[in-house]
C-alpha cells in the first residue's frame, strides 16, 4: 500500500513537472551544471590519474632520479635551488663505485636549450627540419637500467662513448618526421648543426603519454665535445632488487661528501622515485578535485535556491488543491511527502541530465585530446546524483512545511 502511495506521489510530481517544462528546466539548470561539472572533472582526474600512475610506475620500482632540485609535480623553484651547482659526471662515477646497493648508474647530460628554455634543439635531414627535440648525452648503462628499449639497430656502446663517436639513437618519430619511408639506420642527420649517424631506433616509451617520441641520445662524451656549453646533468640510479631504500641512502651519503655539504645543512640535490612523484601528483589532483567540487557546489546552491523559490510559487498556486486534500482527510505528513517528492524528482531529473552532460563532456574531451584519457568513475556519477537528490530534500523542506501548515478553511477560500 505504501509503495502504491509513493508511486502515485512520484507520478503526480512528474505530471506537475510536465505541465511546466520550461520553468522546471530553468529551475534545475544550476543543478544540471553542478552535477555535470562534478562528473566531467571526476572523469578527467580519474583518467589522468590512471595514466600518470602507469607512466611513473613504468620508470621501474628500483629506479631513482637524482637532480639538483625536484622538477616533477611541484610549485615554483626557489632561488636557492636555481643557484645550486650542477651534478657532474664524476658524481655519477662516485655513486657507481661506492654504492654497493646500486646496480647501474647512468649520467644524462641536458642541452642548454632544454634547461634554459631559450632556443630549441633541431634536427635536419636534407630539406626536412624537426624542432623541439629531446636531446641528451648518456652511456650504455642507460639502456641497462631499463630506460630505453631498442626497436631496431643498437644502443650506444662504451666504445662509442670513450672514442667520442658521432653517433645517435633516436625515438620512433624522428625518422618518420625527417626521412619518411627511408631506412634510418646509417643515415646522417644534423643535430643543432652537428653531423651524427643514426645507429638505432628506440621503441616509444610508456612515459610518452601520447606525445611524439623525439628523443635523440648521443654518447655522453660525444655530446660534451660538440656542445661544451652543456653543464646540467641528471643521474639515473638503478638499485639492486629490493634495495631501493639502501641505494637512496648510499647515494645521498656519497653526494653529500662529493658536494661538500656540511653535516648541519640540508641536501643541495634531490632524489626522486616513482612512488614519491606519484604521491606528489596525487596531492595536486586532490587539491584540484576539491577546488572544482567547491566551484560546482556554487551551481548546486543556486539550483537549490531556485528549487525552493519555484516550490514556494507552486505552494501558492496550489493553495486550493492543498485545502481540498486536507478537507478530505490528508494529513500534514502527506502534504510534506507530496511536495518533498516533487522537489526530489525535480532535482533528481536535473542530476540525471547533469550526469549525461558530464559523460558527453568526458567523451568530447577524449575525442578532442586523444592523449588525455577520461573515464566516468562510479563514485562521480553516484555522488552527482546523490547530491542533486540531497539538494531537493534540503531546499524542499521549507516549501513542504509551509504547504502542510496551511489552514484548510483559509486554503479553500483562496482565489
Q: What is the pLDDT of residue 155?
A: 95
Nearest 5°: phi and psi at 135? -90, 135
Same domain, 254 and 399: no
**At residue 46, does pLDDT exceed 80?**
no
Closest of 296, 381, 379 to residue 31, by C-alpha: 296
Residue 219's pLDDT band (cuts 50, 70, 90): very high
Residue-wise pLDDT tens digits, 359-395? 888 888 778 777 667 777 777 777 777 888 888 788 8
Same domain, 165 and 259: yes
Closest of 396, 359, 351 to residue 43, by C-alpha: 359
**At residue 119, does pLDDT exceed 80?**
no
115-150 burial code (b ≥16 CB/10 A, e <16):
eeeeeebbbebeeeebeebbbbbbbbbbbebbbbee
Same domain, 103 and 196: yes
- Which carries the bigger pLDDT value, residue 392 or residue 266? 266
Find which of 33-47, 78-92, 268-282 is predicted with most confidence, using mean pLDDT: 78-92
Lowest mean pLDDT among 58-72, 170-184, 400-414: 400-414
DSSP collapsed to 3 states, 78-125: CHHHHCCCCCCHHHHHHHHHHCCCEEEEEEEEECHHHHHCCCCCCEEE
In sequence order, the β-bridge partners of residue 190 are 124, 195
Output the nine-digit C-alpha cell for 99. 654504492
**At residue 5, does pLDDT exceed 60?**
no
Same domain, 192 and 109: yes
Residue-wise pLDDT tens digits, 295-317? 777 777 777 887 788 777 777 77
Residue 62 lies in a domain: no
Mean pLDDT (whole number) for 189-214: 83
Output the nine-digit C-alpha cell for 32. 544540471
Other beta carbons less than 10 A from residue 229's beta carbon: 7
Residue 414's pLDDT band (cuts 50, 70, 90): low
Q: What is the pLDDT of residue 55?
A: 64
Domain termination site, one of 245, 268, 291: 268
Mean pLDDT (whole number) for 341-370: 82
Lowest mean pLDDT among 63-67, 180-184, 309-313: 309-313
Q: What is the pLDDT of residue 159?
A: 95
pLDDT, the chain, mean: 82
Mean pLDDT (whole number) for 206-227: 82
What residues have CB less than 8 Å from 230, skipping those under 6 apart?
109, 110, 111, 112, 137, 223, 224
Q: What is the pLDDT of residue 29?
A: 79
The tally of domains found in the chain comes to 2
Q: Domain containing 208: what range?
A: 85-268
Q: What is the pLDDT of residue 1?
A: 42
Mean pLDDT (whole number) for 338-352: 81
Q: Report the distance separating Cα 67 and Cα 25, nearest Å.
A: 56
Residue 80 lies in a domain: no
- Which carries the bigger pLDDT value, residue 195 or residue 72? 195
Same domain, 353 and 247: no
Same domain, 358 and 211: no
Residue showing cell 552527482: 384
Same domain, 219 and 292: no
Q: What is the pLDDT of residue 151?
A: 92
Inter-axis angle of helices 2-19 and 332-368, to 10 degrees?
60
Q: What is the pLDDT of residue 412?
A: 62
Output the nine-digit C-alpha cell for 289. 578535485
- Which carries the bigger pLDDT value, residue 248 or residue 34? 248
Domain termination site, one of 268, 302, 333: 268
Output the nine-digit C-alpha cell for 304. 537549490
- For the chain, give percent helix, strand, coil, nearest 5: 55, 15, 30
Same domain, 132 and 49: no
Q: DSSP string of 356-409? A: HHHHHHHHHHHHH-TTS-----HHHHHHHHHHHHHHHHHHHHHHHHHHHTS-HH
Q: Report the distance separating Cα 384 and Cα 364, nearest Å.
A: 19
Apex 89 CA angle, 84 and 94, nearest 5: 95
Q: What is the pLDDT of residue 184?
A: 93
**At residue 85, does pLDDT exceed 80?**
yes
Residue 344 lies in a domain: yes
Domain termination site, one of 247, 268, 289: 268
pTM of the model: 0.67
Amino acid at each position: 500500500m505504501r509503495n502504491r502511495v509513493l508511486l502515485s506521489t512520484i507520478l503526480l510530481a512528474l505530471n506537475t513537472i510536465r505541465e511546466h517544462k520550461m520553468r522546471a528546466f530553468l529551475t534545475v539548470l544550476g543543478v544540471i551544471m553542478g552535477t555535470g561539472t562534478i562528473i566531467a572533472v571526476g572523469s578527467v582526474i580519474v583518467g589522468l590519474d590512471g595514466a600518470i600512475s602507469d607512466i611513473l610506475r613504468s620508470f621501474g620500482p628500483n629506479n631513482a632520479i637524482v637532480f639538483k632540485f625536484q622538477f616533477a609535480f611541484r610549485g615554483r623553484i626557489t632561488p636557492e635551488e636555481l643557484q645550486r651547482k650542477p651534478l657532474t659526471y664524476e658524481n655519477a662515477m662516485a655513486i657507481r663505485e661506492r654504492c654497493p646497493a646500486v646496480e647501474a648508474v647512468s649520467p644524462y647530460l641536458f642541452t642548454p636549450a632544454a634547461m634554459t628554455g631559450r632556443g630549441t634543439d633541431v634536427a635536419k635531414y636534407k630539406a626536412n627540419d624537426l624542432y623541439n627535440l629531446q636531446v641528451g648525452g648518456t652511456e650504455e648503462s642507460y639502456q641497462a637500467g631499463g630506460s630505453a628499449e631498442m626497436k631496431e639497430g643498437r644502443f650506444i656502446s662504451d666504445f662509442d662513448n670513450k672514442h667520442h663517436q658521432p653517433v645517435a639513437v633516436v625515438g620512433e618519430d624522428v625518422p618518420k618526421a625527417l626521412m619518411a619511408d627511408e631506412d634510418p639506420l646509417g643515415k646522417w642527420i644534423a643535430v643543432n648543426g652537428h653531423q651524427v649517424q643514426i645507429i638505432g631506433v628506440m621503441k616509444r616509451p610508456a612515459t610518452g603519454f601520447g606525445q611524439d617520441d623525439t628523443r635523440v641520445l648521443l654518447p655522453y662524451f660525444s655530446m660534451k665535445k660538440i656542445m661544451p656549453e652543456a653543464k646540467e646533468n641528471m643521474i639515473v640510479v638503478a638499485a639492486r632488487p629490493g634495495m631501493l631504500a639502501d641505494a637512496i641512502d648510499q647515494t645521498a651519503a656519497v653526494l653529500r661528501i662529493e658536494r661538500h655539504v656540511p653535516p648541519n645543512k640540508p641536501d643541495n640535490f634531490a632524489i626522486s622515485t616513482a612512488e614519491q612523484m606519484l604521491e606528489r601528483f596525487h596531492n595536486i589532483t586532490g587539491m584540484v578535485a576539491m577546488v572544482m567540487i567547491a566551484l560546482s557546489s556554487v551551481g548546486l546552491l543556486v539550483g537549490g535556491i531556485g528549487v525552493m523559490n519555484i516550490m514556494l510559487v507552486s505552494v501558492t498556486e496550489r493553495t486550493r488543491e492543498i485545502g481540498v486534500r486536507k478537507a478530505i482527510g490528508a494529513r500534514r505528513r502527506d502534504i510534506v511527502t507530496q511536495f518533498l517528492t516533487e522537489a526530489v524528482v525535480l532535482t533528481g531529473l536535473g542530476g540525471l541530465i547533469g550526469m549525461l552532460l558530464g559523460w558527453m563532456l568526458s567523451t568530447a574531451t577524449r575525442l578532442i585530446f586523444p592523449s588525455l584519457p577520461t573515464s566516468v568513475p562510479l563514485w562521480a556519477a553516484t555522488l552527482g546524483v546523490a547530491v542533486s537528490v540531497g539538494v531537493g530534500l534540503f531546499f524542499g523542506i521549507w516549501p513542504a512545511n509551509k504547504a502542510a501548515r496551511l489552514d484548510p478553511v483559509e486554503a479553500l477560500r483562496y482565489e
